[in-house]
């Protein structure tokens, strides 16, 4: 059994955004800004403008290739480390064969579920490795995350 497993994966799945997507975002943002101004909430209008600018900037950004490592101490995704002591349990989700992933339930309330794509590795080997350190429990991706993925975020 391996003492360390490593692979690389894109930090997120990039979806090609059409001109219609940008128009929809712009129209929704414009409506929200108008509502904020009518209701006298200039700060909210500024917030909407900044949020849309950031959203558009991220939508054109290429995803980075991130190193993922499982070792005796924990799981590392890029520069983020998740020691096993800070994790409750895991689940290897193979419901979509082209989109296999590890779900880690964290003890931290700010990031309760960490989702890590499995690429270039056998999901059974990943599961065996994690079983040595964490209990296995079926976990589901939050509905909000799935909806955002479908919408192209």
Condensed to tens digits (0 to 9), the pLDDT of residues 74-115 reads 999 999 999 999 999 999 998 887 888 999 999 887 878 899
Closest Cα partner for 60 from 21, 31, 8?
Answer: 21
- The CATH code of the domain at 5-11+65-151 is 2.30.29
Q: What is the pLDDT of residues 6-47, one digit of tens each?
A: 999 887 777 788 899 899 999 999 999 999 999 999 999 999
Q: What are residue 69's phi and psi, to 5 degrees?
A: -135, 135
Q: Is 71 in a helix, a strand, or coil?
A: coil
* Domain ranges (residues) in the chain: 5-11+65-151, 19-60
Q: Name the pTM for this structure.
A: 0.73
């Amino acid at each position: 059994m391996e003492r360390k497993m490593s692979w690389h994966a894109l930090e997120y799945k990039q979806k090609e955004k059409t001109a219609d997507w940008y128009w929809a975002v712009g129209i929704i943002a414009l409506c929200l800004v108008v509502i904020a101004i009518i209701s006298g909430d200039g700060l909210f209008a500024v917030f909407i403008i900044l949020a849309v600018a950031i959203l558009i900037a991220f939508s054109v950004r290429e995803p980075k290739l991130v190193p993922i490592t499982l070792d005796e101490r924990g799981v590392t995704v890029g520069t983020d480390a998740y020691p096993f002591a800070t994790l409750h349990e895991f689940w290897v989700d193979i419901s979509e064969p082209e989109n296999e992933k590890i779900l880690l339930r964290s003890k931290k309330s700010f990031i309760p579920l960490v989702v890590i794509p499995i690429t270039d590795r056998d999901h059974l080997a990943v599961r065996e490795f994690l079983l040595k350190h964490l209990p296995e429990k079926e976990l589901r991706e939050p509905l909000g995350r799935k909806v955002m993925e479908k919408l192209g975020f």
